[in-house]
Structure 1
């Protein structure tokens, strides 16, 4: 019997709606006088001046093709500068659409290194991204990635400033963003900051310090320092990769809470490490007080505990013991365990007991063994489907990465299951 997966979708996830919000957009959104937005997988902003315009982020290749026409509707000026707030494809993917001999691309000095890393792991990262985002983004990787590499013309360090058409632009390095080359664009006269994905896609949520996609991890303290750098500017408006955040008091309150919450998680994790606690214990025990709680649609407290633990200690997990040092995986003994248990189906039956007791993770541990021993076991496949759905129900499906991972696991069961 095929395991249907129709019930798991991206519906109701804020990030999914934001990413999809550019579909059908045919007019630029004016977010402030002379500052226009084209929405997409990552928003692009056109800042206009009498002497030419500044583009902040090019978007994906597909978004840029639409965005260029949208921006042409509000300005006939040439684009003089293109500023990249980080080195992900939803910032640089459409560079070739906007780049001309008469404009300069500005990025942080680490940007070429970040791009070299991205090219080296392109297949790995595309595979990871598609597993999570394929239900959310339309098109294929060819619609996101550029057809040719466009190098940065101006590489900056901690700070860079220029004036164009009477508008002053200041660029600040914020290495705690989603990439080490992250920048914020500060318009001091207007007190507006364009920050890309410094916070991730959602303001007021926990950052995702180390995504399931397989990126390099972000450092907790660098993230805190980068948010503090923005906060010290006292912006009255913050334009992110997806949102328009307004009000100095609101921004000060929320950035302060973000800083305090991530600092609290970091400090309790370090304290627990020094006390000899293992990583999974800390993932369970480190829970911020209610006044510091942030939303968990993109990042999660437990994942940031884990990211901080590994940031400081590296890959070896002493709690896993000697076998963690070697290349023989737990699945190597799955056939022996299944044999002792009376077969994969017996393990699956016991897993279903865990499901009935409301313990889906314990069930999945057993089912990993059962399916490693006998990948074609329909009993184990069906039990895994039940365990995954219970897990989704218990977690509420509120976190994008968690929900989409479970959906991808159910999809894999659909693909492996024989039809009716």
Structure 2
């Protein structure tokens, strides 16, 4: 809750809406609670997991969500009952046996970590989001199973950070020794894992602080989960690059298929045996992640669905920001999984939520999830082709009752509303075709004009108060946002506007079935009063050193202050780069017209660069890390490395690099979202 306003009670409108949810959905069905608890062999043995580098800081708590205990408080008036049920399920934490030799640690991060017993060690699938939580999860398994065997392989199912960020924790909290074992990932994993967290990483991290409500207390009036899991851990993000890639080129040919593979041969499947564990990989690019794969374990008749089939409608466009996902491809790959694996599967699990047990249940689950994404794609396109805009299509869109009745198709993480808009954006783009929307004013200018058109701030707030009293909170937040963004509003009136905005956002949060919607609404309510308070994380060394040289220069180019550079530099500045170790690489960068252009090797348009920079890749990584640190700058880090003899600069103008790097800016990691 915002610190400067009294706690807000749910209105009669929200209370009635939440009661209607309770009456409409099959709350008597306890199957999910049975499945989420099945096979539990251990519970967390500590109250919290602490930071490796800051031992007093909690990166994951097991006690924050005690208020969700259904035995203590079966209902919370400030939480949508459907979301409350989902949060109670995702809060079930511990070690679980999924099938013979297959275990999951759940409730130690946003994601699950899966452990498979091999002949000499253990195979780990998706080692959580941070080093500390992965280390604690593995320790829980070792203690409960009295199994100290080494990690014999690591598998990343896809390129999102909560599925690889904890990998170094599997090998200890200290040190960076990496054993010579397989690190297996789908084709394109490293490129997408790095680029997603670097290119727009600061903006995504800021918005993620809304999505997971990092600044809110865990409480009935605050953060109660995110729908996909409780929240994201805040420990050290690490990455060990894969040394084995699953691709179309690795697919097992028909004549190499074996009876032990159980399922019939199908083109594109790759069979790998790791530490005696037989694994069959199905590539699913462009589904929930750009690089992703499902995994079948024939000996256990068990299917890992990565994040392609979970107990929620997933995001087609995550609210933290990303590229729009393809529901058509998603449904097609689910169809392929059904046709390939379902007949031969008794258990399906994913890297979030709890497993589905039973062949018929697995088939129904996968089929209904497939139908869900196909329906969203196809029916949105039908509406687009009858003239609906994204907003219009989302407003009236309803799932068939046969789909919406399944708990796993409810919108706890994705939602029908924002997923329909995502489909619209994917096919049509941001513009709805109405020229009135082609060149709209930005929020501050629009706000000033709206306030004036309505007859002043007092009139606007009076109309908004009427809407609030009538329970039309969506209109309140839209209308009052104009007052919040309008420049020059006197402090007392601005304060009244922000208070009303916070109250309306809070009511919307209390009524939201979607965990991330609730988090956005309630974080917005806090920030409109208290100001920005996000908690973005800094890119770690592993992510930076995993950047290709091409990606390094992409990242620098995206940080150039183009307007300033174009004003001050009338002539191009070209730099030749020579990276000598671990392998020799070269590139030419040219700052011209405010853009930093890079060409591998020699740029044919550059007769002679102003300077040549010679360094090792480890030095480049060090400079980038120092530049990214609080108070650091690329120019200062570069000049320090030159002074220390780690970088050599030669050529006609040895000051040219410093000139270019002087235009490299740092992102604002705490920018305002709900206020100007």
CA shift in 2, pair 1:240/1:62, >3 Å:
same
1:188 maps to which of 298, 305, 325: 298
Aligned residue number for residue 145 of structure 1: 237
Question: Secondary structure of the equivalent of 1:30?
Answer: strand
Aligned residue number for residue 130 of structure 1: 209
Aligned residue number for residue 236 of structure 1: 346
Q: Is the 8 A contact 1:5 1:414 kept in 2?
A: no
CA shift in 2, pair 1:253/1:19, >3 Å:
closer
1:382 aligns with 2:495: no
2:485 maps to which of 372, 375, 384: 372
CA shift in 2, pair 1:318/1:173, >3 Å:
same
Aligned residue number for residue 98 of structure 1: 170
1:415: how far off? 0.9
User: How far apart, CA to CA, are the structure 2 residues paired with 1:165 and 1:330?
Assistant: 58
CA shift in 2, pair 1:126/1:301, >3 Å:
same
- Root-mean-square deviation (CA, aligned residues, Å) is 2.7
User: How far apart, CA to CA, are the structure 2 residues paired with 1:191 and 1:180?
Assistant: 27
User: How far apart, CA to CA, are the structure 1 residues paired with 2:241 and 2:355?
Assistant: 29
1:337: how far off? 2.9
Question: Secondary structure of the equivalent of 1:212?
Answer: coil
1:163 maps to which of 248, 269, 273: 273
Which of the two has higher C-alpha Rg?
2
Question: Secondary structure of the equivalent of 1:45?
Answer: strand
Q: Is the 8 A contact 1:297 1:399 kept in 2?
A: yes
Q: Is the 8 A contact 2:503 2:525 kept in 1?
A: no
Q: Is the 8 A contact 1:4 1:414 kept in 2?
A: no
CA shift in 2, pair 1:36/1:229, >3 Å:
same
TM-score of the aligned structures, taking structure 2 as reference length: 0.56
User: How far apart, CA to CA, are the structure 2 residues paired with 1:298 and 1:182?
Assistant: 19
1:305: how far off? 1.1
Aligned residue number for residue 70 of structure 1: 140
CA shift in 2, pair 1:362/1:195, >3 Å:
same
1:330: how far off? 4.3
1:165: how far off? 5.0
Task: Report how many aligned residue pairs link the two structures.
Answer: 403
CA shift in 2, pair 1:389/1:342, >3 Å:
same
1:261 aligns with 2:375: no
CA shift in 2, pair 1:271/1:340, >3 Å:
closer
Aligned residue number for residue 46 of structure 1: 115
User: How far apart, CA to CA, are the structure 2 residues paired with 1:109 and 1:287?
Assistant: 36
User: How far apart, CA to CA, are the structure 2 residues paired with 1:48 and 1:181?
Assistant: 26
CA shift in 2, pair 1:284/1:339, >3 Å:
closer
1:178 maps to which of 281, 284, 288: 288
1:284 aligns with 2:395: yes
User: How far apart, CA to CA, are the structure 1 residues paired with 2:87 and 2:160?
Assistant: 18
Q: Is the 8 A contact 1:5 1:407 kept in 2?
A: no
1:287: how far off? 1.2
1:56 aligns with 2:58: no
Q: Is the 8 A contact 1:15 1:400 kept in 2?
A: no
1:323: how far off? 4.7
Aligned residue number for residue 2 of structure 1: 4
My pick for the range that moved more, 216-225 or 190-199, is 190-199
1:312 aligns with 2:390: no
User: How far apart, CA to CA, are the structure 2 residues paired with 1:138 and 1:259?
Assistant: 26
User: How far apart, CA to CA, are the structure 2 residues paired with 1:64 and 1:301?
Assistant: 33
My pick for the range that moved more, 225-234 or 105-114, is 225-234
1:357: how far off? 2.6
Q: Is the 8 A contact 2:271 2:281 kept in 1?
A: yes
1:96-148 alpha-carbon deviations (Å, 9 max, x no partner):
2236322121001110111222222222222222222124567863x0522xx
User: How far apart, CA to CA, are the structure 1 residues paired with 2:295 and 2:192?
Assistant: 19
1:309: how far off? 0.8
1:189-233 alpha-carbon deviations (Å, 9 max, x no partner):
22101223223xx42x32211111112221011111222232220
1:140-185 alpha-carbon deviations (Å, 9 max, x no partner):
63x0522xx4211111114422224543111111225421111112
User: How far apart, CA to CA, are the structure 2 residues paired with 1:375 and 1:19?
Assistant: 45
CA shift in 2, pair 1:190/1:59, >3 Å:
same
Q: Is the 8 A contact 1:13 1:400 kept in 2?
A: no
CA shift in 2, pair 1:72/1:44, >3 Å:
same
1:54-93 alpha-carbon deviations (Å, 9 max, x no partner):
1111112221120232233333332221110111222111
1:197 maps to which of 289, 304, 307: 307
